[in-house]
Chain A
Amino acid sequence: MAEAAGVAAEFFASNRARAARAVLDQVVLPGEELLLPEQEDGEGPGGAGERPLRLNAGARSRVRVVCGPGLRRCGDRLLVTKCGRLRHKEPGGGGGGVYWVDSQQKRYVPVKGDHVIGIVTAKSGDIFKVDVGGSEPASLSYLAFEGATKRNRPNVQVGDLIYGQFVVANKDMEPEMVCIDSCGRANGMGVIGQDGLLFKVTLGLIRKLLAPDCEILQEVGKLYPLEIVFGMNGRIWVKAKTIQQTLILANILEACEHMTADQRKQIFSRLAES
């Protein structure tokens, strides 16, 4: 918090755009303007002295940069819309890479392509209304299931859990979900099985758990047979052989958000003993 306050003071005092390179992994605030490496000429804190000599100055400015969640393009300027740490990913082949803000929030805003867990709240004609935790329930066509036809309706009841993907998600329209991919296969989407436990966590924790090198999940997977479904909307569904095991699992996942690696190790070793 002290860090954020310091940054805020500095930002509002100088009221000047900072270079994106210079604030990587630092806190950025909504309303702040960032300068991409191509725009830094003389404006950034580095100044002209530090800049290496460029041979292809003209070609440089055409590098494409992707601005992810938490950033917004406004003309040629890059503005911050969320509070959090600025992250950057180097590009795979050419381009300027991806910038985004790693923020902590609980409110979910539907994004096209996201896999989420929804609860069916209503069946009306040929669409289901699904609560996904957004500002508006999403619609889900009964034809958007694997193998579904007009004759062969999927067996979906009110109250069922649905794991699906957004195909339409923007600020002006009702979000729309589907449970098939572009090839018409389910790929694990559809109604999530019976029983189990659904609980909500912050959106940041979901991303932390789904990161490719997440130690928590590797540890959890060693405990006992279990199944987990993660929705990008902050919902987690867990199921194990017994209710007790399911509850332990849910508690671990919920608690590990604010634990250090050592604390986690302790808990996992204690669980392994019991």
Chain B
Amino acid sequence: MRGGPSGGARRRAGLSMAAERKTKLSKNLLRMKFMQRGLDSETKKQLEEEEKKIISEEHWYLDLPELKEKESFIIEEQSFLLCEDLLYGRMSFRGFNPEVEKLMLQMNAKNKEEVVEDETVELDVSDEEMARRYETLVGTIGKKFAKKRDRANYEEDENGDIKPVKAKKMFLKPQD
């Protein structure tokens, strides 16, 4: 149940004409912060609504139809290179210009051998081997970045590997 409006109307009806004239304050005054406390819920709501109306009216928007470019499945390309698999434009025959001849082989082979090349590419160092190698480095590099005081904690074990000593200083709670 909303008692506000009906209650307010009853109250207003009971008031004398003079009193009504007295309470009629300007909107701008009513909107001020210190006036908010005394306002009843009805006028508050009215003010808020008016304010909202002003704000929405002042909002800018572009009066344009929505521009929606459909995703096209046709792609434009003005180059013949893509269409016809043309060769490289510099050529030399029978050793006239060895430099160009070398270049020719390299550039023209590119299109054909790309597929083959992918298969032949192999890792020189396997991931596992790499990880194993770096394992031993952890201590050495760690020592480099350790402070002088902590450096004593790094000790060489029987393999010659440097490892941090595990003993850590920590707070010991006294027993009482």
Give which listed residue, B74, B84, B93, B100, contacts A73 with CB less than 8 A. B74
| Chain B window 63-97, contacts with chain A (Cβ cutoff 8 Å), 1 for yes, 0 for no | 00000001011111111111111111111111111
Whether A163 and B77, one on each chain, are in contact in the complex, defined by CB atoms closer than 8 angstroms, is: no
A240 touches B77 (CB 8 A): no
Q: How far is the CB of B11 from chain A (nearest CB, A)?
A: 67
Asked if A254 CB lies within 8 Å of chain B CBs, one says no
Tally A residues with Cβ within 8 Å of B: 52
Residues of A with C-beta under 8 A to B78: 68-69, 111-112
Mark out the residues of chain A between 224 and 245 whose CB falls within 8 Å of any chain B CB in the assembled complex.
224-232, 239-241
- B74: which of A76, A188, A212, A217 is its contact (CB, 8 Å)? A76
The bracket for how many chain B residues form the interface is 20 to 34
- In the complex, A113→B73 CA distance in Å? 23
| Proximity bits, A177-210, B CB within 8 Å = 1, else 0 | 0000000000110000000000000000001001
The 4 closest A-B pairs by CB, nearest first: A221-B93, A225-B96, A230-B89, A210-B86
Contacts from A to B (Cβ < 8 Å): 36, 38, 61-69, 71-73, 75-76, 78, 87, 89, 96, 98, 100, 111-115, 163, 187-188, 207, 210-212, 214, 217, 220-232, 239-241
15 pairs of residues in contact across A and B, judged by CB atoms under 8 Å: A66-B76, A67-B74, A67-B77, A68-B77, A68-B80, A68-B82, A72-B76, A73-B72, A87-B83, A89-B84, A114-B81, A187-B107, A188-B103, A188-B107, A227-B92
